[in-house]
Amino acid sequence: MRDTAKANGCPFHTGAATTADPKNDPYAWWPSALNVEILHQHDTKSNPLPDFKYRQAVRTLDVEALKADLRKLMTESQPWWPADYGHYGGLFIRMAWHAAGSYRAADGRGGANTGNQRFAPLNSWPDNANLDKARRLLWPIKKKYGNKISWADLIVLAGNVAYESMGLKTYGFAFGREDIWQPEKDVYWGSEQEWLAPSDQRYVDLDNPESLENPLAAVQMGLIYVNPEGVNGQPNPRKTAQHVRITFARMGMNDEETVALTAGGHTVGKAHGNGNPAHLGPAPEGAEIEDQGLGWLNKTTRGVGRDSVTSGLEGAWTPTPTQWDSSYFDLLFGYEWELTKSPAGAWQWQPIGIRPEHMPPDPEDPSKRTMPMMTDADMALKVDPIYRPIAERFWRDPEYFSQVFARAWFKLLHRDMGPRTRYIGPEAPQEDLIWQDPVPPGPRDYDVGAVKRAIRASGLTVPELIATAWDSARTFRCSDYRGGANGARIRLEPQRRWEANEPERLEKVLAVLEPIAHHYGASVADVIVLGGNVAIEMAAERAGYAIEVPFVPGRGDATQEWTDVDSFEWLRPLADGFRNYLSPQYHRLPTRQRPEELLIDRAHLLGLTAPEMTVLIGGLRVLGANYQNAPEGVFTDRVGTLSTDFFVHLTDMRYRWAPLADNRYALIDRESGETRFTATRVDLVFGSNSILRAYAEVYAQDDAHEKFVRDFVRAWTKVMNADRYDLRP
């Protein structure tokens, strides 16, 4: 008799793919497959609190009691991870900084807004070494206040309170960051396959820091911004200064803010490199199960307190590492500095002829004194011709330094929270700041019906109205809550002249819609959206469906004065697959993502699911919303009718597809050989990708007409209302 257990292996062996082994990925054999999965992250299946409304709950938080508990915690040193100088403030500031500092302006991803520091890869980045200890120290606070405080809010609040406890008057603090419950899969952190790989592959030319690959804002894999030892670990303060300037600009900071943050971040706390890095165990994600999610453990020697290793650099920057003061500049400018190495072997700078009163205390024994140090980035402030005058002004005027730092620190912590209307809590500042993209409240009591009738009678076409409304709304990014239709910034610089917005067509449409808005007392922002809605209703009527696209008035009109032109350039579309647009710049890029990948990226930033993306593509094509009325993807003979024709022709096996030229394909009748339609890769991916084809087939069915219209309206309304924070708590 055959031994089935032996033949089939262990009868208790699981058949599930239970590890992150790449071979378990369904697409492991096809590494170029489109990652549609990023559109379906963070759904209710991963959320243990699916019905919980954090932004409502945090409003009931006793903020003063929480802050009092944080201040008390900071000076209660724990033997398992002793506090430097008896104060965890420096550690908590670094934790908050590194949570917020992962933000990059190019796509709005990263940052502290989601509590992503708890998960891979950030929880195991080399630059985040030992921040796992900081979060564990905070656990008693999180445990006590429960769901009234998110990890995302608590991580950055701890850093803010730390500065306050050490003497800084902060600018304020806003709550409202909601936690995610699993690692983010949409963020591109770089192509390197190893931590701290040389910077060279991130740049077209390492000697030209501006050639850093977009959207990256850090010079090496696993770093927040720059290597503290110098470019590729080679000390050169002048060269480092150029890289600091670009990385901080990529985080949305100007030169003055950069100097303030660098100096202010190093005014307190210390670096840790008093030991052998070879004794450290793996990062949290690779640690043993008994380590319970803690990484970088030294199981060979003591490895805590004064003997811990984090960055590898060793020492404090100032003689008062638990006090907010200007001693950082006293040392930076008061001494000449020489290159040396830490006990861990890292390059750092030390002062020549240091006086005893300028020597920091030992982190565990205040009766002992230690040598201060500076990183290459600190020395950059001294040698760079732009940074030095700024730093010298801060040195001469400590009050001004404190004010600039407080505002820059606030910006760092809140840059990805969106407009001030999203801020919650008693310490949220009431001042409008230009980087918040302020929009005044808009009118609500005008006659919406009359406006819609005026638009219908205006002579503007369905494609013109659809394209203008879409272009106004498509700038929205759910990553940092920037952009969107509210504010009607499409009529302002720089958006008014963006090629993707078809300036000539835009001017024509605005010339009609702006007087309508003025006449009826509506905002231009509302009227632009209403124009798109009217066009959809007209197109649905032609398809035989009487519908009303949902609309709530109240959008405001932003002003040019309160629009940061340089900052908004980060929102300029390089591509928009929804309108079949590719910038000429795309073809000049040294490395190019496929157009369908750029579509997925935009859909993700718009907060769309794959089915919503699919129905929008099909609808926008038959509505004739392509850039410059291009014919590609318009698989219909009745443009302007909200039909399922796109999906019907895409899935019809009477036709075959043939390449014509770069990103152009022909739909050819198999029998006659005649070309029926043309398309781009963005169009064809809905037939070639197995996931997207499954969605397309739903809408190609004979029974899908009404469902298609209603689904399109629902997805369209979602995009138009993406930045209507006044419509949700």
CA distance linking residue 329 with residue 395, whole number of Å: 6
- Residues sharing a CB contact under 8 Å with residue 671, sequence separation 6 or more, in sequence order: 654
State percent of the chain over pLDDT 70: 97
Q: Is residue 273 classed exposed, middle or buried when 0-12, 13-18 and 19+ CB atoms within 10 A define those classes? A: buried
Mean pLDDT of the 155-171 span = 98
Mean pLDDT of the 289-304 span = 96
Query: Do 536 and 713 contact (CB within 8 A), yes or no?
Result: yes
Give residue 7's pLDDT band: very low, low, confident or very high (50, 70, 90). Answer: very low
Distances (CA, A) of 25 to 53, 61, 119, 573: 33, 42, 20, 31
Determine the straight-line distance between the first and last CA of the chain, rounded to whole angstroms. 68
The residue with tokens 């489109």 is 34
Strands 575-576 and 581-582: antiparallel
Lowest mean pLDDT among 110-114, 366-370, 376-380, 724-728: 724-728
40-87: pLDDT as tens digits:
999 888 999 999 999 999 999 999 999 999 999 999 999 999 999 999
CA distance linking residue 389 with residue 411, whole number of Å: 22
- Catalytic member of 13, 40, 87, 98: 98
Distances (CA, A) of 428 to 270, 303, 709: 30, 40, 42
The average confidence (pLDDT) of the chain is 95
What is the SS3 string spanning 311-334?
Answer: CCCCEECCCCCCCCCCHHHHHHHH
pLDDT at position 702 over 50: yes
Strands 270-271 and 575-576: unpaired
Tokens of 398: 């400590």
Mean pLDDT of the 611-638 span = 98
| Helices and strands (DSSP H and E) totals, the chain | 23, 9
CA distance linking residue 481 with residue 555, whole number of Å: 16
State percent of the chain over pLDDT 90: 92
Query: Do 722 and 473 contact (CB within 8 A), yes or no?
Result: yes
Look at the chain and count its residues.
Answer: 729
pLDDT at 501: 98
Tokens of 686: 């809905």
> Radius of gyration of the chain from Cα atoms?
28
Give residue 662's pLDDT band: very low, low, confident or very high (50, 70, 90). Answer: confident
Q: Which amino acid is at 237?
A: P
Q: Is the pTM of this model over 0.85?
A: yes
CA distance linking residue 536 with residue 546, whole number of Å: 10
Query: Do 372 and 332 contact (CB within 8 A), yes or no?
Result: no
Tokens of 559: 């002003």
Distances (CA, A) of 514 to 473, 511, 536: 17, 6, 20
CA distance linking residue 47 with residue 42, whole number of Å: 7
CA distance linking residue 366 with residue 375, whole number of Å: 24
Mean pLDDT of the 122-130 span = 97
- Residues sharing a CB contact under 8 Å with residue 2, sequence separation 6 or more, in sequence order: none
Best CA proximity match to 149, nearest among 49, 72, 58: 58
pLDDT at position 12 over 60: no
For the question of residue 98 being annotated catalytic, the response is: yes
pLDDT at position 717 over 50: yes
The helix/strand/coil state of 661 is strand
